[in-house]
Structures are given as C-alpha cells and as structure tokens.
C-alpha cells in the first residue's frame, strides 16, 4: 500500500484535472490517475477535450473559417487572388496547440502539488485505487475521497466499422491531412456538423446522414430551422431520416448503404466520419465490491452533488447524467472538491450553455420554447436579427438572430437561443443574467456599448415587451 491521499481523481480530462487542481488548492493531498500516454510513454493529460475533441476541432474550424474569409475578402475591397490551403500545415498547427495545452496541465499539476499516477485506475472496495502501469506493474493507493472522472468514448455502430484512414471516429477525423473530394458523415450532431463544416469550407462535397427525422431536436425549433437553412447555403447536404445499414470499402472509396423514406440508397465517399454520439467510459473502472452502481447504459448513479452510492466516492463529467460538455465536467469537479474540503457548494444545472461551433455558431442556455409550452408555462418571446446590427453589418456577418424567452408573469429570463457569428461568446451574457435570476427588464435597463454585436442581446430583451428600437416590433394579437 502506497501513501494515503486525501483525494484521488481517476481521469485527467476537463473534469478530472480541474477537480485535482482545485482540491490541491484547498490544501488537500491530491493525486490524479491517467492511463493515456503518447508514443514515447509520457503522460497525456487533458482527456478527450484537449486531445481529440474541443480544442483540436476548434483549431481546424478557426483555420478553415479564416481560409473562407480570405477567399471572400473582396467584399471589403481586399483582392487576394488565388487562395490555397496547406492542409498538412493546418493539422500541424492543431497538433502544436494541443501539445501546448496538455503540457500546460502538467505544469499546473506541478505548481499546485498534484501527484500524477500514470496507469489505468480502478476503484476497489474501501476507497482504494488500483493503478496498473503500462508495463503491467500494479500499485494500490488509499484515499479519504475518490473522484471518478473517466469520461466517455465514441459510439461505434456495426454497419460502419472503423477502417484505418477511411471510416473514422471523431479522433481519426481530426487527422485527415488531405481534403477529400467526397466526405460522408453519419450523425448531424455537434461533431458531425463541425467536422462537416471544416471540410466543406475546403471544397469537399459533404453529405450528412442523420437517422432522426428532426434536425437538432434538442435545440429551439427556430434556431434549428435557421441553422438548417444556412447550412444548406453552405452546401452541407443534410439528409434526415437516413439510417446507415452497411458500408463497403472498395480500394480508397467507401460505399455507404442507407435507407430513408424513399427506400434503400447508396452514397460513395472518399472518407466517412462516424459521429453518432458518445458513451460513458466506465468499463473496467470499478471492482464488483466498490459500492458504486451503474445504470443499464453504463452511467454512474449520482445525486445532485455528484455523490455515488459509495460513501466518500464521487463521479463527474461524461460518466454521469446530464450533457456531455467539458464545462459541465469542470464545474462539477470544482463543486466536488469544494464539498470534500468542507465548503458549501452547489451547481446550477439549469444554466449550462450549449454551443455548436459552426459558422455561424449556435448557442443556447435554459429552456426552449417548445419545452416551456409543453410544460404549460406562459411565456413572452423577443427576437432580434443580426441583420439589423450595425457592428454585424460592418463585419459582414449578419446571419442569424438572438431569441430571448421570459416568463409572462414574472418576466424572469427562462432561455436564450442564438444563431450568429460569435454566439459562443454572447451566450455568456445570457448565462450570467440567468444565474443572477435576471428579468428581461433588467437587461432592458442595462447599458450596452455601441456599436457591438452584444447589442443584439439588449434588443432581444427589449423585444420581449415589444420595445425593440432598431427593428419594427410585432404587434400583440
């Protein structure tokens, strides 16, 4: 038995590494277990988000967005001539960013006194953690508290088994280093739309197969409808109600068989990305006598403060209920570390922003209009288009709108939904307002700088009561 820790965290993704740093900052003797290593045997920190998820995908999205803007710079009077993209250099830049950030976490561990334990972590009975190193050696560590932050892995589907270089999951999609002429994507969720956008901007013919009949069913319907219209203009061919039934690899081509309302069909592509969702990474995480329970889908049972059924054991992030979002995992990690240190802590699960980083971006926080109407809540809605924003016009970025939903009786803001160029940044304004229980009137009375894209949030708040200044207001029926 090795030294005993106050806290052992299993997993160094955005939930785990944040929890470990916070616990150490609070004076707790903390260790973090991570199994991921690079080809040199060095620990790879940051989990899916930093290595094969949020960060590398945003690097590619930004590079291709800049490429697209440069191609169309003549609207500003800028003559660029023939613009080309060095895809290999783009991918190398992405890798450099990932390396800088993951190396930064190692530095933060050192600065905060977090002990890194390299290997596969497994929770045993009595809050003991078994760590199996890459060479097969096993050590067991005791802890007063354990935080399970094992994350998630891509869902693979039998009709489209991964094939090196041709049929790819989200990790493989990030390493494509030549623009495919024809790209297929299975799944029109966050990953599918973002990766489809990357390659469509570089000239690929992108076809997205989505099994559901509704596009972005979790988003507000008006946002989903607007986004679908914009993506069609961007030549993303999104086929709804299209279920993949099989694939055949023929040389360097993939034939995708699918069925839709019209019957059986085929699609031939050069690369196929499978992006149908993720599942919790809990296999091998727990011994039978650990005391932690899983549901039928492999998620860990927790309460509102991420406690499992085993005393002193917590679970956070993608392996528990709620949206699989890096920022949700991080905040759960902070909450749990604070609780372990004896502080009062609670997380507001009603105010977690969701973002899709296409261009324009989609972002929302709180309830959708359809959710509120289904619950019988009387609401009032304000919308403001970016086409009426002077700053958006100056930036040649006028697609989309801000939509604000407030309670008809109390005026409290219940949800804010956006499609727009920098929606990922603007949504924080809405989240802050909702966290403080703001009403639409509170935002109406707030002074927003002019000219800014943020004014669209102000105008949407004014529009809730039919008082928008820079557009014609709808007359109440």
Q: Which are the catalytic amino acids?
A: 450
Token pair for residue 53? Answer: 């998820």
Closest CA to 419 of 378, 460, 379, 452: 460
Q: Are 195 and 57 in contact (CB under 8 A)?
A: yes
Position of tokens 């528990």?
320
* DSSP-derived secondary structure letter, 213: S
Closest CA to 431 of 281, 286, 331: 331
User: Is the previous residue joined to 360 through a cis bond, with omega within 30 degrees of 0?
Assistant: yes
Cα 285 from Cα 281, distance rounded (Å)? 8
Cα 178 from Cα 202, distance rounded (Å)? 10
Q: Are 131 and 138 in contact (CB under 8 A)?
A: yes
* DSSP-derived secondary structure letter, 43: B
Cα 255 from Cα 452, distance rounded (Å)? 47
SS3 for 249?
A: strand
Cα 323 from Cα 189, distance rounded (Å)? 13
- Which H or E run contains 222? helix 221-233
* DSSP per residue, 411-429: -BEEEEEEEETTHHHHHHH
Q: Report the first-to-last Cα separation within the chain, whole angstroms.
A: 73
Cα 306 from Cα 146, distance rounded (Å)? 11
Alpha-carbon Rg for the chain, nearest whole angstrom, is 24
SS3 for 259?
A: strand
Burial 95-122 (b: 16+ CB within 10 A, else e): eebbeebbeebbebbeeeebbbbbbbbb
């Amino acid at each position: 038995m090795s030294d005993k820790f106050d806290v052992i965290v299993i997993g160094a993704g955005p939930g785990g590494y944040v929890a470990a740093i916070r616990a150490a900052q609070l004076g707790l003797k903390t260790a973090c277990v991570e199994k991921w290593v690079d080809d040199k045997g060095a620990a790879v920190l940051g989990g899916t988000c930093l290595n094969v998820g949020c960060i590398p995908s945003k690097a590619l999205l930004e590079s291709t967005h800049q490429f697209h803007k440069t191609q169309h710079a003549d609207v500003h009077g800028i003559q660029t001539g023939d613009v080309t993209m060095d895809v290999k250099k783009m991918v190398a830049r992405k890798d450099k960013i990932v390396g800088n950030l993951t190396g930064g976490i190692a530095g933060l561990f050192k600065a905060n006194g977090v002990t890194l334990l390299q290997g596969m972590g497994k929770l045993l009975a009595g809050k003991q953690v078994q760590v199996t190193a890459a060479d097969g050696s096993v050590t067991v560590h005791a802890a007063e508290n354990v935080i399970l932050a094992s994350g998630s892995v891509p869902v693979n589907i039998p009709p489209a088994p991964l094939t090196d270089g041709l049929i790819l999951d989200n990790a493989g999609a990030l390493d494509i280093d030549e623009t495919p002429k024809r790209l297929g994507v299975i799944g029109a969720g966050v990953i599918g739309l973002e990766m489809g956008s990357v390659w469509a901007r570089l000239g690929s013919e992108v076809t997205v197969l989505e099994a559901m009949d509704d596009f972005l069913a979790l988003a507000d319907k008006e946002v989903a409808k607007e986004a679908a219209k914009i993506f069609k203009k961007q030549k993303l061919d999104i086929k709804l109600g299209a279920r993949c039934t099989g694939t055949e690899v023929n040389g360097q081509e993939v034939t995708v068989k699918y069925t839709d309302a019209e019957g059986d069909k085929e699609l031939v592509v050069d690369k196929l990305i499978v992006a149908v969702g993720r599942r919790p990474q809990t296999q091998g995480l727990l011994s039978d006598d650990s005391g932690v329970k899983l549901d039928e889908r492999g998620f860990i049972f927790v309460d509102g403060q991420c406690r499992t059924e085993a005393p002193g054991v917590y679970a956070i992030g993608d392996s528990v209920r709620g949206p699989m979002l890096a920022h949700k995992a991080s905040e759960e990690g902070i909450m749990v570390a604070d609780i372990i240190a004896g502080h009062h802590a609670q997380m507001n699960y009603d105010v977690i922003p969701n973002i899709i980083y296409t261009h324009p971006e989609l972002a929302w926080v709180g309830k959708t209009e359809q959710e509120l109407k289904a619950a019988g809540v009387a609401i009032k809605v304000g919308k403001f288009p970016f086409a009426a924003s002077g700053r958006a016009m100056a930036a040649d970025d006028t697609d989309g709108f801000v939509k604000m939903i407030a309670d008809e009786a109390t005026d409290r803001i219940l949800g804010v939904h956006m499609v727009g160029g920098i929606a990922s940044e603007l949504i924080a304004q809405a989240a802050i307002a909702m966290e403080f229980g703001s009403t639409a009137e509170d935002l109406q009375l707030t002074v927003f700088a002019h000219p800014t894209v943020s004014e669209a949030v102000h105008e949407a708040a004014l529009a809730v009561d039919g008082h928008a200044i820079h557009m014609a207001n709808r007359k109440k029926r």
